[in-house]
């Protein structure tokens, strides 16, 4: 970084020194020959020009100040050339001014400076007439003056375009990094939503245990407390009450076993539980008629694959609710074997407004689903179905393939 900065600083200094040397060379003849007045005026003109070159090339000063200095120097060159030197030496300095105006000033300052320099240039040619009656020489000289401005201006615009492009790519890179960070956060949120779905299911089971078994146990405690007094007075009634209590206890025990069995059968984080909860939530809140079928071999679905299926299905249902105008949705998730490889297939169809033959344009949501599937090593396809509606199919490897390079 420091080396690049040093090279840039050296290039800036080199360009300025080179322009000053060229300016001195352009004024060398009138500064060393002719009368003392011409020499003195030429030296002053050269000094003013060198200062103007340094000032006009400095980006630290305002463009209005640099333009004013450039226009002032043009006027000084024209006056000295007409009334003192009486030759076209000043036109050489005007080439420097118009070149710097084209390469260092932005519109409208560059146009103002170039216009004044052009007027001064033509004024010198009209008053001094250095080429006599050779009109072709005047035309060539003027064209060279214009070409200087056009070339430097073109270079300036190309530098600006290159700088703008570099800034654009820099912003694009920052946006890409931000998008990657957002994607990672979204994956974490997806996992969190699955965990929440599991927690909600287990809370439901806990409430069931509390409501059923808790009530039964409370009843048992109350009746047992009463039984200790009844057994002394009514043996037959106490015996029947004991049988009823045993029946209640057995029923409660069976309910506890059933609840424990449900908890034991659940994985710590089950993707299909979260997916089922998502379908139930959309069905309850959207009014859609959803038919959901999931094959029985999905209990050991890997977490990372489950996250992808969850997010793709979530985006698909969001599109149905927002854009399709559908009334019915069919969802099918199944495990499939192909070429000794295990895959999971998600298939979603609706009866929305889309019809075969309609122009299909992949928006941000569809592009996001495709990217998720392809990043996982799977495929994603969507199309219109007859007579109307949309079909989405995502096929993912059961486990994400390991990159061979990373494996090595």
User: What gap in Å lies between CA 102 and CA 113, rounded to an integer?
Assistant: 9
pLDDT tens digits in sequence order for the chain, 408 residues long: 456 667 777 777 888 788 788 878 877 877 787 788 878 888 887 888 888 888 888 888 888 988 898 888 888 888 888 888 777 766 777 888 888 888 888 888 899 988 998 998 888 888 888 778 888 888 888 899 899 999 999 998 998 899 899 999 999 889 888 877 776 676 566 556 666 766 776 777 677 666 666 666 676 666 777 776 666 677 667 677 777 777 777 777 677 666 666 655 554 445 787 888 888 888 877 778 999 998 878 877 888 888 889 889 988 888 888 778 889 999 999 998 888 889 999 999 999 888 887 777 777 778 888 888 999 899 999 888 888 899 999 999 988 776 544 443
The domain limits of the chain are 2-130, 193-265, 271-407
Give the pTM. Answer: 0.46
Task: Report how far residue 142's alpha carbon sits from residue 121's, in angstroms, rounded to the nearest whole number.
Answer: 8
- Integer Cα distance of 153 and 201 in angstroms: 71
Residues ≥6 apart with Cβ < 8 Å to 265: none
Q: Are 110 and 140 in contact (CB under 8 A)?
A: no
Q: Is the CB of residue 358 less than 8 Å from the CB of residue 323?
A: no
* Bond into 108 cis (ω within 30): yes
Q: In CATH, what number does 271-407 get? A: 3.30.565.10
Q: What is the pLDDT of residue 344?
A: 93
- Cβ distance 102 to 149 under 8 Å? yes
- What is the per-residue pLDDT for 216? 65
Nearest 5°: phi and psi at 362?
-80, 110
What tokens appear for 391 in the block?
Answer: 């079909």
Distance CA 310, CA 303 (A): 10
Could you tell me the fold of the domain covering 193-265?
Answer: 1.20.5
Residue the block writes with tokens 């200095």: 69
Edge-first strand order for the sheet with 341-350 is 289-294, 328-338, 341-350, 390-397, 379-384
3-state secondary structure of 133: coil
Three-state DSSP class for residue 269: coil
């Amino acid at each position: 970084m420091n080396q690049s900065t040093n090279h840039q600083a050296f290039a800036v200094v080199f360009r300025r020194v080179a322009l000053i040397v060229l300016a001195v060379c352009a004024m060398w003849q009138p500064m060393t020959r002719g009368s003392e007045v011409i020499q003195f005026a030429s030296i002053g003109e050269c000094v003013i020009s060198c200062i103007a070159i340094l000032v006009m090339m400095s980006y630290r000063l305002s463009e209005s100040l640099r333009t004013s200095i450039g226009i002032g120097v043009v006027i000084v060159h024209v006056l000295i050339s007409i009334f003192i030197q009486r030759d076209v030496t000043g036109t050489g300095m005007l080439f420097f001014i118009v070149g710097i105006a084209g390469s260092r000033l932005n519109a409208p300052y560059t146009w103002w400076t170039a216009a004044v320099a052009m007027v001064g240039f033509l004024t010198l040619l009209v008053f001094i007439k250095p080429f006599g009656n050779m009109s072709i020489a005047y035309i060539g000289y003027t064209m060279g003056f214009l070409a200087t401005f056009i070339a430097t201006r073109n270079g300036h615009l190309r530098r600006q375009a290159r700088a703008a492009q570099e800034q654009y790519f820099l912003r694009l890179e920052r946006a890409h990094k931000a998008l990657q960070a957002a994607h990672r956060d979204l994956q974490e949120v997806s996992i969190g939503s699955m965990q929440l779905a599991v927690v909600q299911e287990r809370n439901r089971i806990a409430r069931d245990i509390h409501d059923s078994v808790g009530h039964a146990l409370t009843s048992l405690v109350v009746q047992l407390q009463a039984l200790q007094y009844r057994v002394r007075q009514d043996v037959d009634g106490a015996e029947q009450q004991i049988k009823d209590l045993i029946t209640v206890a057995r029923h409660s025990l069976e309910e506890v076993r059933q609840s424990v069995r449900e908890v034991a059968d659940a994985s710590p984080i089950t993707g299909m539980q979260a997916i089922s909860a998502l379908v139930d939530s959309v069905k309850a809140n959207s009014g859609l008629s959803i038919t959901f079928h999931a094959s029985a071999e999905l209990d050991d679905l890997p977490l990372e694959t489950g996250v992808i299926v969850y997010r793709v299905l979530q985006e698909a249902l969001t599109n149905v609710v927002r854009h399709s105008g559908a009334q019915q949705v069919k969802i099918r998730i199944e495990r499939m074997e192909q070429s000794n490889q295990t895959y999971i297939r998600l298939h979603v169809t609706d009866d929305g407004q889309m019809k075969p033959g309609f122009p299909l344009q992949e928006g941000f949501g569809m592009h996001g689903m495709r990217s998720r599937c392809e990043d996982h090593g799977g495929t994603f396809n969507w199309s219109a179905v007859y007579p109307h509606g949309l079909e989405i199919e995502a096929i993912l490897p059961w486990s994400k393939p390991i990159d061979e390079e990373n494996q090595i």
